[in-house]
Amino acid sequence: MRRTILTILCILALLMAAAPASAGEEPVETSTFLSITSPKQYETVWSDLVPPEVTVVGRAEASNGIRDVVVESSAGMVSCGNATNFSCTVPVAEGNETITVTLIDNLGKTSEAALHVYVNVDIPPPPWISVIGTVKDADGRPVPDATVRSESVLPLAWGPHPVTTGTAGDGGYLVENAFGYGQNISVEKEGYLPLHREVVFENITNRLDLELEPEPPQARTAPGFSAGMGILALAGGLLAVRARRRREG
C-alpha cells in the first residue's frame, strides 16, 4: 500500500514539474516578407488588351513556407502559386486601380501589400532613349568636332524631334532624350562624306559606333577658288575667244 502511494506521489510530482514547462514554452515565431517590384507605386500602366491586364512581379518569403500568393484587383483575382519570386497577370479596370497582393504561409498567416496604379487602355507610347558611341575615320582615328544628329522616324505631330550633339576630342558623343526606338542618325564633318543611317534600337540606353569616310580629293574646293568664281572665269574665257575670232575675221 505504501509503495502504491509513493508511486502515485512520484507520478504527480512529475506531472507538476512538466506542467510549468509546457505552459512556459514560447510560441513558434513566424516571419514573412512581401515586396512588389513591378509596377511601381502610382505608376501609369498601359494595356492595349480588352479587358486590360497588368503583370505584377515581386518576391515573397515566409519562415513557415509559402502556401499561396494571391493577386486581386477590382476586376478579378488570380493565384501566383507558392514560389519565392512570383509574376502573374491580373485583369484590371481602366483608370485608378488598387491591386492587393496577399501572402499566405503554411500556418495560414497572411501578409498584404497594396499597389495603386493608373491603367491607361491604349498602345503604350515609345520611350525616351539615349545613344552613346564614338565617331572614327577609316583608319580608326577619332573624329572630333563632328555634328551628330538624331531624329525620330515616327510621324509625330510636333515634328521629327531632332537631337543634335557634337563629338569630343576622343570622338565620343552622347545623344539624350531621343523619342522612340527608331532613329535617323546623321554625322557631318568638313573633309568627310556625310553619314546617314536609319537605326531601330532595342534598349533605353544604346551604343552605336560610327565611321566616316574622307571626301574624294576632286570633291574638295581649292582654297580661294569657289564654284562661282570658276563659272565667271569660264565665261570670261569664252568671251575672250569670241572677241579674238571677230578681230581675226
Which residue shows C-alpha cell 535617323?
Answer: 184
Same fold: 32-121 with 128-216? yes
Strands (E) across 4-50 are located at 32-38, 44-47
CA distances from 217 to 140, 192, 194, 213 (A): 20, 11, 15, 12
Q: Which residue has the higher pLDDT, 60 or 18?
A: 60
Whole-number pLDDT of residue 21: 46
- 179: how many CB neighbours lie within 10 A of its CB? 22
Taking residues 96-104, report their average pLDDT: 97
Residue range 187-241, pLDDT digits in tens = 999 999 999 999 999 999 999 999 999 998 875 555 554 555 556 655 666 666 5
CATH fold for domain 128-216 = Immunoglobulin-like (2.60.40)
Q: Where are the domains of the chain?
A: 32-121, 128-216
Question: CB pairs under 8 A, 24+ apart, for 110-116?
Answer: 111/32, 111/33, 111/34, 111/62, 112/34, 113/34, 113/35, 113/36, 113/58, 115/36, 115/39, 115/41, 115/56, 116/41, 116/42
φ/ψ of residue 235, rounded to 5: -65, -40
Q: What is the pTM of this model?
A: 0.54
Which helix (H) or strand (E) segment holds residue 112: the answer is strand 110-121
* pLDDT tens digit sequence for 32-51: 999 999 999 999 999 988 88
Q: Looking at domain 32-121, what is its CATH homologous superfamily?
A: Immunoglobulins (2.60.40.10)
Residue 74 is predicted with a pLDDT of 95
pLDDT, tens only, 8-28: 665 666 656 555 444 445 555
Residue-level pLDDT at 219: 57
- 132 versus 126: the higher-pLDDT residue is 132
